[in-house]
Amino acid sequence: MARAPAAPAASDGDRPEDMTEDAVRRHVAEAIIDRRLPPGTKLVEQNLAQIFGVSRARVRAALARLAHEKMVTLEPNRGARVSTPSVEEARQVFEARRLIEDGIVRAAAARIDAAGLERLRAHVAAEHAARDRRDRQAMIRLSGEYHLLVAEMAGNAVLLDFLRELVSRSSLVIAVYERPGSADCADHSHSDLIDCLAAGDGARAAAVMAAHMDDITRSLDLSAHREDGIDLRRVFADVARGAA
């Protein structure tokens, strides 16, 4: 019996008839950031259209937006793939993060209030819990979200937008070059940074962040290779259901 197009799960809130271009982009972007879609993965429009229950034109538009954000590469006559950053791009991404996050943590130290500190502490507690239960996907997501949360505390929407793109691109870099067994972000670095912010010590916060970026960079192995053979339907199992 032929299989009907997959229908998005009701719990996600994106029904086939109302799955927007932005929702398609969001689902693919989250899978890239979580590293469920490694660099080099081919993104077949027809397959994604069936998974999400939308037209190929809507998928194509979503992939074009992701290409603009450097998360996807569009190749003439070959379609779309998750971007594979070069060694030089990897270095530039983390150099940009060092520069931007230095200013972010200094601004956050001057502006953060008790409510903001509580949000950061709760977030770090969630990171600890994910690490304790060995939830790799949650660890990856929470690590990136922590940096964006600190940027939110800095109160500069432009810097937050810049960092959001850099965090996404960092995820690609780490997916390609991370040494086996390396942690995305050491829990103690995030906790130490909160202590600096609570004390209003911008200079010390910047030093902690710089050391943190160095730790992440040292976790990269430039000889590592990516793997192919990704099953798109399995990646988006939480979004789409096959119906017999």
Residue 106: pLDDT above 90?
yes
Residue 2: pLDDT above 70?
no
What does the domain layout of the chain look like in residue ranges? 4-84, 87-218
CA nearest to 178, candidates 225, 212, 236: 225
What's the chain's average pLDDT? 84
Kindly state the average pLDDT of the residues 192-217.
Answer: 95
Q: What pLDDT does residue 30 have? A: 86
- Residue 164: partners with Cβ closer than 8 Å, 6 or more residues away: 148
Residue 95: pLDDT above 90?
yes
Q: What CA dihedral angle connects 182, 71, 27 and 148, to 10 degrees? A: 60
The pTM for the full model equals: 0.73
Q: What pLDDT does residue 229 have? A: 54
Confirm whether 4-84 and 87-218 share one CATH topology: no
How many Å separate Cα 239 from the centre of its chain?
A: 18
Question: Residue 109 in contact with residue 202, Cβ under 8 Å?
Answer: yes
* pLDDT greater at residue 31 or residue 199: 199
Lowest mean pLDDT among 13-27, 102-116, 160-174: 13-27
* pLDDT greater at residue 229 or residue 2: 229
Q: What pLDDT does residue 240 have? A: 62
* pLDDT greater at residue 163 or residue 32: 163
- Topology of domain 4-84, CATH: Arc Repressor Mutant, subunit A (1.10.10)
Q: What pLDDT does residue 74 have? A: 93
Helix axes 136-154, 87-111, angle to 10 degrees: 50
Which two three-digit tokens encode residue 144? 């990136």
Kindly state the average pLDDT of the residues 160-186.
Answer: 81
Lowest mean pLDDT among 16-30, 40-54, 196-210, 228-242: 228-242
* pLDDT greater at residue 127 or residue 2: 127
Question: Residue 187 in contact with residue 127, Cβ under 8 Å?
Answer: yes
Q: What pLDDT does residue 99 have? A: 95
Residue 92: pLDDT above 60?
yes
Lowest mean pLDDT among 107-111, 157-161, 165-169: 165-169
Task: Using the structure block, give the residue that is written with the tokens 């990646």.
Answer: 235
- Residue 208: partners with Cβ closer than 8 Å, 6 or more residues away: 105, 189, 192, 193, 196
Lowest mean pLDDT among 22-31, 118-127, 131-140: 131-140
Q: What pLDDT does residue 182 have? A: 64
Amino acid, res. 1: M
Q: What is the CATH number of domain 87-218?
A: 1.20.120.530
Do the strands 240-243 and 79-82 form a parallel or antiparallel pair, or are they unpaired? unpaired
Q: What are phi and psi of 21, to 5 degrees?
A: -60, -40
19-to-53, 55, 145, 241 alpha-carbon distances in Å: 8, 10, 25, 14
